[in-house]
Amino acid sequence: MGNSTAGFVSTLEKSNDEGVKEVAAEKLCTKVKQFTQHGSYMKAVTKNAGKPLIGMLQGGTQKGKNGAAATLSYLALDAECKEQLAVLGAIPALVQLSKEGTPELQGAAAAALANMVSRSPANQAGLAEAGAIPPLVDIVKSGLNEARGWAASALGNLVLQHKKNQLRVAEAGAIPVLVELATPQASLTAPSSSSSGFDLLGLLTCRKRDDPKLQQVSKNMEMAARALSSLAFDCIENQEAIAKAGGVEVLLTLAKEGSQRDEVEAFRALALVWGKDEKGQTKDKILAAGGQKVCIEVVRNGHDDSKASAASMLARLAHSDAGIKESIATSGGIPPLVELGNTGAAQAKLSAVKALKELSTNCPENERLIEEAGGTMLLESHRSGMKFRELSADDEQRLQDVQARANAMKTDNADHDRAADPAAVELQQAWSIQNPDPDKPLCFK
């Protein structure tokens, strides 16, 4: 066998000893992990080892199946490789493993499926047709902790910009289990393949956001929030279902008690779940759950990527609502918004100015408070129609190009189920989940 890729591949192709093949698959996985950025290498391995690896999923030892699934996970990070693996039959084999494998193997299959479907319209359709949705929902509901996060990732990728899959996943009962997975308290009681050995609840309660142990615990919640975002994007039915399932309250709790990444994903998801909300029911849920205070706190002390979302939410809460305008002011919301408008990143500044505009409209008292806090120039820039931005010419052109593509998508009815242009997806805060921790193998042991 040696220690070369060619030797490992040859063993997988020719050996009849499953024990030897499992060793080859494990060693090949280590090699592939090291060279995921080398497209030619990934394609060569896929071409020569893809079929025997898929065969191991069906007839190998337990350890061999685990190694094969992990190797396929890394190979599927390459756009061309994931398409070729689908042609070779990886999807039905992985779906079968997700249904009938041990809990550890179900997790390995979920990780591979998450990468197989990421940014791949053809594989989005293929996974749904192969029956991947029910077993993935089951894994999110009751799988091992590691597996639950990857199954949530797979579901999020499966529904990204795909209306039929959004509805299929919702109909399969995914929304309540994803809401549960996004709940900080629930993540502490799920089955796990290993003992944590530390006080998770204490970490969450005191918000030690940079603690690496908390980051590991919160990854499932982050993945669940992302999946809920993909389900909610431009889908009124799912927005209402998520709100009905308690998603608004859970996402606000996650923003308060989770890690910084949890906070970012929670706010992005909440913005999408809010949707049009023509009857104001979601707004009422946000207010009842203390969302106004959460937003003010995030504008004041949150992660940079969350501040813009929180400011936008405050602007929307205050729109044409005199009571909320007064409440935000009396809760100390104006000074941090002014500070954000003066010193924040470009998008955060725009969101802060929008919030201050809403707070000051037909409200002289708030206008006075804004001026006292040093926000006079911010209001004047808005009133005079000045273009309030801090973007380079290249950045401005890029945003204009992305917006143009996003607008074109809205009028393109040729294929309602196709995946979106990745740049438009980024602009609209829907994203693909395809970045396994490079320092952590995808094997579930």
What's the mean pLDDT in 181-189?
A: 72
pTM as predicted: 0.82
From the list 187, 176, 178, 182, the residue with the least C-alpha distance to 154 is 178
Q: Whole-number mean pLDDT of the chain? A: 84
From the list 435, 19, 441, 8, the residue with the least C-alpha distance to 223 is 435
Would the pLDDT of 365 be above 80? yes
How many Cα atoms sit within 13 Å of 441 on the Cβ side? 18
Distances (CA, A) of 250 to 179, 225, 256, 357, 403: 7, 10, 10, 29, 31
In angstroms, the CA 141 to CA 333 distance is 39
Tokens of 364: 């002289």
In angstroms, the CA 92 to CA 423 distance is 30
How many Cα atoms sit within 13 Å of 122 on the Cβ side? 10
- Residue 169 domain-assigned (yes or no): no
Q: What is the pLDDT of residues 62-79, one digit of tens each?
A: 999 999 999 999 999 999
Please count the structural domains in the chain: 1
In angstroms, the CA 302 to CA 313 distance is 14
In angstroms, the CA 324 to CA 317 distance is 7
Asked if 65 and 102 touch (Cβ cutoff 8 Å), the reply is no
| Percent of the chain residues past pLDDT 90, beyond the cut | 73
- Domain range for 361: 283-390
CB neighbours (10 Å) of residue 243? Answer: 25
The one-letter code for the residue type at 239 is Q
How does residue 383 score in pLDDT terms, banded at 50, 70 and 90? Answer: low
In angstroms, the CA 351 to CA 367 distance is 17
- Residue 64 domain-assigned (yes or no): no
What's the mean pLDDT in 80-91?
A: 98
End-to-end CA distance of the chain: 24
- Residue 302 domain-assigned (yes or no): yes
- Residue 43 domain-assigned (yes or no): no
In angstroms, the CA 192 to CA 19 distance is 27
Q: How far is CA 297 from the centre of its chain?
A: 23
How does residue 211 score in pLDDT terms, banded at 50, 70 and 90? Answer: low
Q: What is the pLDDT of residue 413?
A: 37
Q: How far is CA 159 from the centre of its chain?
A: 12
Tokens of 379: 């209001």
Q: 431 or 151, which is more confident? A: 151
Q: What is the pLDDT of residues 392-425, one digit of tens each?
A: 455 445 545 555 554 554 444 334 333 333 333 3
Asked if 233 and 161 touch (Cβ cutoff 8 Å), the reply is yes
Would the pLDDT of 437 be above 80? no
Would the pLDDT of 367 be above 50? yes
Asked if 39 and 75 touch (Cβ cutoff 8 Å), the reply is no
Q: What is the pLDDT of residue 363?
A: 96
In angstroms, the CA 208 to CA 217 distance is 12
From the list 158, 155, 201, the residue with the least C-alpha distance to 178 is 155
- Residue 336 domain-assigned (yes or no): yes
- Residue 246 domain-assigned (yes or no): no
Alpha helices in 130-211 (DSSP H): 133-142, 145-159, 163-171, 174-181, 184-187, 200-206
CATH of the domain at 308: 1.25.10.10
The one-letter code for the residue type at 350 is L
How many Cα atoms sit within 13 Å of 390 on the Cβ side? 11
How many Cα atoms sit within 13 Å of 361 on the Cβ side? 16
- Residue 178 domain-assigned (yes or no): no
- Residue 310 domain-assigned (yes or no): yes
Alpha helices in 275-392 (DSSP H): 281-288, 291-301, 304-318, 322-330, 334-343, 346-360, 364-372, 376-383
